[in-house]
Amino acid sequence: ATPTAVMVATGKGASQGVLIKGGNALEKAHKVKTVVFDKTGTLTVGKPAVVSSVLFSKFSMEEFCEMAIAAEANSEHPIAKAVTDHAKKLSQKYGSQMEHVMEVEDFEVHPGSGVGVKVGDRRVLVGNKRLMRAFNIPIGPEVEDYISETEQLARTCVLVAIDGRVAGAFAVTDPVKPEAERVISFLQSMGISSIMVTGDNWATANAIARQVGIQKVFAETDPLGKADKIKDLQMKGLTVAMVGDGINDSPALVAADVGMAIGAGTDVAIEAADIVLIKNNLEDVVTAIDLSRKTISRIR
């Protein structure tokens, strides 16, 4: 495209809340055949909330909540906020007088699986099954049942282990964005297929995919794994767009032919992307591709 055409299109995009960071993205977007969507915060609203909890151990609800809060208070993951908000209310309901988060040592983030911490002389882990496996924490049938029940409902199960045993769990829900299904089906009508990639587990990922009409899913993928999925698609000769919001999406946003960041996403994702959707609306994935198609066809 000529510099003028690019300028006109970028201006038009900007006025619609689609920030295109240069001619290259605009030139490539019209060729996109596949859009890869991150799940959490991209297809879903990204404001997870705890909907239920369960105790599996001798710990009191109050103690259990205090441990979960102590671990998650240090995490920036959206799930951590959901857990601390809920656990605070719950522990108050159970009579906790606690006013301060307990002091912790050795806080560790395990990207894509959870967090770990020492609270006094107790070891606390909060996260998914993968995290428990990595620390050789046994998962009994009772816990297994709660996990599968939770995941069937498109919820994420957050396990809390204290001193090597699963002490309890939370079920976290994060509803899909209202426009998600419509956008996926519109892309399909444009000849573009949609794929989901997520660090979350397979059962939850598949349940969310069903809700929005996505047929192809890659779950339990770490940040570099997300980028590898993009590269695999490109090896097949496809022009690929990636839509994401998190730090964990940035390698994939960079690897994609066209990286699109949700405006409400993290700075790192916005930095890594070629296009920023500042209205946080998935409809603008279509707006961006459409704008590119119109710009390119006018030139030829």
Q: Which residues contact 106 (CB under 8 A, 6 or more apart)?
A: 116, 117, 118
Among 18, 79, 196, 217, binds ligand ADP (CB under 6 A): 79
Q: If you compute the radius of gyration of the chain from its CA atoms, what whole number of angstroms results?
A: 21
Spatial distance between the Cα atoms of 159 and 68, rounded to a whole number of angstroms: 9
Among 26, 35, 36, 40, binds Mg ion (CB under 5 A): 40
Cα distance between residue 202 and residue 225, in whole Å: 15
Work out the number of other CB atoms within 10 angstroms of the CB of residue 185: 12
Site for ligand ADP in 251-290 (CB under 6 A): none
Which of positions 139-178 make contact with ligand ADP (CB under 6 A)?
Answer: 156, 158
Q: Within 10 Å of residue 280's Cβ, how many Cβ atoms?
A: 17
**Residue 40 or 292 having the CB closest to Mg ion:** 40
Which of 27, 38, 63, 72 is in the footprint of Mg ion by CB under 5 A? 38
Cβ-based nearer residue to ligand ADP, 184 or 296: 184
Residue number with CB closer to Mg ion (196 or 289): 196
Which of ligand ADP, Mg ion, none does 199 bind, CB closer than 5 to 8 A by kind? Answer: ligand ADP
| Residue choice 27, 66, 151, 200 for contact with ligand ADP (CB under 6 A) | 200
Residues 6+ apart with CB under 8 A from 286: 183, 186, 187, 190
Q: Is residue 290 flagged as an active site residue?
A: no
Q: Is 174 an interacting residue with respect to Mg ion (CB under 5 A)?
A: no
Catalytic residues: 38
